[in-house]
Amino acid sequence: MRFEHMEEPDVEDLHRHTFYEIIWVDAGQSRQAIDYRDYQLSPESLFFISPGQLHYFEEWEPLCGGSILFSEDFFLLNQQNKDKLFELSFLDNFYANPLLQPSQPDFRDIRHTIELIDLERRRPDYSQAVTQSLLHVLVAQIQRCVDTQQETKASRRSIILYKQLKNLIDQHYTDNQAASFYASALNVTPHHLNLICRQVTGQTASDVIRSRSLLEAKRLLTFSDLTVSEVALQLNFLDPSYFARVFRSQMGVSPAVFKQAMSEKYRL
């Protein structure tokens, strides 16, 4: 999709993604929010959104640029290496900055590949295989930019293991499981799991698990009519006062104050 062909982006409401999206900006400004964090997009920047994330197109001035949307199934179609998508550190970027400002030469190369994808999409003899190959080239170019800008780079194996952990946490975060549970499920020691999490995110495994529970708490407080106590119970915090203390320590406000603020921002 190209922004200049739209009267305005058709994403006024906060929405949860079920697909990957790569946004590029040629000109103009935009403010985007992912999982309650705001980012300012400027010319020659890239922005990445992954499945499961909450996305809000907050503000925009007349934009030139656009977005590429694709599913995991399309990316991995006929691929032998099913970890190929997991190896990309800038996707499923729940731990990293989703905003990238490549160098001008790198941005030109990336834009050239985007144009090739667009040209292929418009051909009467459109080829899914050609489009998929061009998409693989595009994400490899982006990953190279990310690697160049990172002072310390986690190993490919560490990124894959961390994303496997993230998927497990998505399945079990309401169980309030300890880090040892996830280490056992991934066939690694708790110590090794901590090392992986620190290498990739700078946080301990327990911090990563707690962050996921708190993210779900913020979503429930924003979009459901559950009380603070009911949210705590749904996330297996048997003591609502303990849940409130944990929430305040991370967010700086009580769950009740957060719920009111989000209601005013998103539900008027």
Residues 6+ apart with CB under 8 A from 53: 16, 17, 34, 35, 94
Same structural domain, 119 and 184: no
| Whole-angstrom distance, CA of residue 218 vs CA of residue 121 | 39
- Structural tokens at position 162: 């961390």
**CA 93 – CA 216 distance, rounded (Å):** 17
Residue 165 has which token pair?
A: 């952990």
What one-character DSSP code corresponds to residue 148?
A: H
Question: Which candidate, 139, 197, 191, 146, places its Cα nearest to that of 168?
Answer: 197
Query: CA distances (Å), 65 to each of 5, 6, 22, 197, 210, in order?
Result: 10, 11, 11, 35, 36
- For the chain, give the percent of residues with pLDDT over 70: 91
Residues 139 and 217 in one domain: no
**97, 132, 149: which is the final residue of a domain?**
149
Last residue of a domain, one of 123, 149, 175: 149
What are 238's two structure tokens?
Answer: 């048997």
CATH number at residue 232: 1.10.10.60
Backbone angles phi, psi at 243, to 5 degrees: -60, -45
- Whether residues 38 and 84 share a domain: the answer is yes
Residues 111 and 17 placed together within one structural domain of the fold: yes
Instruction: Tell whether 141 and 97 lie within a shared domain.
Output: yes
Of 117, 149, 181, the position where a domain reaches its end is 149
Residues 206, 88, single domain; the answer is: no
Give the closest residue to 161 by CA, choosing from 187, 136, 191. Answer: 187
Residues 125 and 143 in one domain: yes
Q: Are residues 214 and 133 in the same domain?
A: no
Clarify whether residues 183 and 88 are in a common domain.
Answer: no
**Predicted pLDDT of residue 175:** 86
Together in a domain, 203 and 162: yes
pLDDT of residue 15: 73
Q: What is the DSSP string of 130-144?
A: HHHHHHHHHHHHHHH
Q: For residue 38, what is the DSSP state? A: E
pLDDT digits (tens, 9 = 90+) for 116-141: 999 999 999 999 999 999 999 999 99
Report residues of the chain scoring pLDDT below 50.
Answer: 268
Here the tokens at position 38 are 């705001």
Q: Is 49 helix (H, G, I), strand (E, B) or coil?
A: strand
- CATH code, domain carrying 77: 2.60.120.280
- Domain around 259: 156-266
Cβ atoms within 10 Å, residue 137? 16
Tell me how long the chain is.
268
Q: Are residues 136 and 186 in the same domain?
A: no
Q: Which amino acid is at 17?
A: H
Q: How many domains does the chain have?
A: 2
CA separation, residue 254 to residues 82, 208, 245, 257 (Å): 42, 21, 8, 5
Side chain identity, residue 250: Q
Same domain, yes or no: 103 and 164: no
